[in-house]
């Protein structure tokens, strides 16, 4: 039974890692999507926290804004996506290591 407990603990750790990776992907996706929506009206978009100025009529209005401090680099996007895929693979392997009688309770729910 101890081995099964160890396998369940491993599964739980893998599931937590996968949940964290998915949350990071969602966060970055939301930032990029929001910027994409703002850029549809690109003539009225400003970027905050950068070393350039924008016209006062844009900065004082409710036009779209992209925050440079939260904007991910391409490397950050790649790192987060790679972590998700690594965590997903580890999660599937953890399920496969469980006894068949336990696998039904721990599914890979399309992660």
Comparing 7-11, 41-45, 61-65, 75-79, the range with the smallest average pLDDT is: 61-65
**Does residue 108 have a pLDDT over 70?**
no
d(CA 111, CA 101): 21
Quick one: average pLDDT of 69-87? 97
Q: How far is CA 63 from CA 42, 66, 71, 111, in A?
A: 10, 10, 18, 36
3-state helix, strand, coil in the chain (%, to 5): 65, 5, 30
What pLDDT, on the 0 to 100 scale, is given for residue 102?
80
What are the structural domain ranges in the chain? 2-103
- The confidence score (pLDDT) of residue 61 equals 76
Report how far residue 35's alpha carbon sits from residue 47's, in angstroms, rounded to the nearest whole number: 10
pLDDT at residue 88, rounded to an integer: 96
Using the predicted structure, report yes or no on whether residue 53 has a pLDDT greater than 90. yes
């Amino acid at each position: 039974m101890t081995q099964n407990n160890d396998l369940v603990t491993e599964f739980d750790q893998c599931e937590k890692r996968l949940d964290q990776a998915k949350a990071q992907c969602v966060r970055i996706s939301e930032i990029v999507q929001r910027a994409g929506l703002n850029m549809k009206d690109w003539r009225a978009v400003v970027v905050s926290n950068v070393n350039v100025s924008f016209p006062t009529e844009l900065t004082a209005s409710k036009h779209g804004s992209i925050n440079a401090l939260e904007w991910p680099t391409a490397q950050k996007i790649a790192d987060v996506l790679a972590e998700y895929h690594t965590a997903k693979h580890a999660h599937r392997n953890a399920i496969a290591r469980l006894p068949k009688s336990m696998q039904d309770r721990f599914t890979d729910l399309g992660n």
